A and B are shown apart, each in its own frame.
Chain A
């Protein structure tokens, strides 16, 4: 069973550019959540996708957007990059089974540096 994978591992961009981060969910999982972890901070929830639809969003501006594909993989897109967007971006997948709690499994993250 393959775990959650993310690409790329590291990325360097300049202010104003756009970036796309990718996540492959664990086999059998249909829900993907994205988190931003700034240096020295805990992860902050960006949004969640379930069956290709956004299913909850944290306090992030619209320039943070996402997609989920039929195979349940996902992309995080960030437009008009700002210096404060520099962070580790974590993807987590889970399987919605209809019960109230479904464990999230995290990928290794993508470290984004904005210069």
Chain B
């Protein structure tokens, strides 16, 4: 069975600083990996996805993530944080049946 672990339930960064949200996965076969963002009282919005093409994936709002098989990681980064990035971020893994297995989430706070 596949699983994901998100390190750090809360992350705070200053506006303009680097954002790094960590995600490690466990899967017996090559997985599909995703990052979703959730704003208060809203559903999930897909930021980016890895589906076995390029290992460096670029998403919306300036976010990107790199698939590292040797480290079983899929960390999310953004070079310069913006106040509007404050939200909950979820890493998720899927195999071919589309069922998504989510991590427990990381709440990102941006300090002005």
A66 within 8 A of partner (CB): no
Shortest Cβ gap from B59 to chain A (Å): 13
Contacting residues, chain A, for B49 (C-beta < 8 A)? 103
Contact A104-B96, Cβ < 8 Å, known A41-B105, A43-B44, A109-B43: no
Please pick, from A41, A90, A101, the residue contacting B98 in the complex, using a CB distance under 8 A.
Answer: A101
Chain B CB within 10 Å, residue with most, of A35, A58, A100, A108: A100
- What is the interface size of chain A, counting residues whose CB is below 8 A from a CB of the partner? 27
Within B72-112, which residues are at the interface with A (CB < 8 Å)? 90, 92, 94, 96-105
Closest to B102 in A: A42
Cα-based distance from A38 to B36 in the complex (angstroms): 17
> Is the CB–CB distance between B90 and A42 below 8 Å?
yes
Cβ contacts A38-59/B at 8 Å (1 or 0 each): 0011111100100000011010
Within B37-72, which residues are at the interface with A (CB < 8 Å)? 42-46, 49, 51
Contact A42-B42, Cβ < 8 Å, known A31-B98, A103-B49: no
Contact A43-B98, Cβ < 8 Å, known A90-B44, A103-B46, A106-B45: no
By a beta-carbon cutoff of 8 Å, the part of chain B in contact with chain A is 32, 36, 42-46, 49, 51, 90, 92, 94, 96-105
24 A/B residue pairs, CB under 8 Å, sorted by A? A33-B98, A33-B99, A35-B100, A35-B102, A41-B104, A42-B102, A42-B104, A42-B105, A43-B100, A43-B102, A45-B99, A48-B98, A56-B97, A90-B43, A92-B100, A94-B98, A100-B96, A102-B98, A104-B98, A106-B36, A106-B43, A106-B44, A108-B43, A109-B43
Give 20 new A-B contacts, CB below 8 A, not counting A31-B98, A102-B98, A109-B43. A4-B43, A33-B99, A35-B100, A40-B105, A41-B104, A42-B90, A43-B44, A43-B100, A43-B102, A45-B101, A55-B97, A56-B97, A56-B99, A92-B44, A101-B96, A103-B49, A104-B100, A106-B44, A107-B43, A109-B42
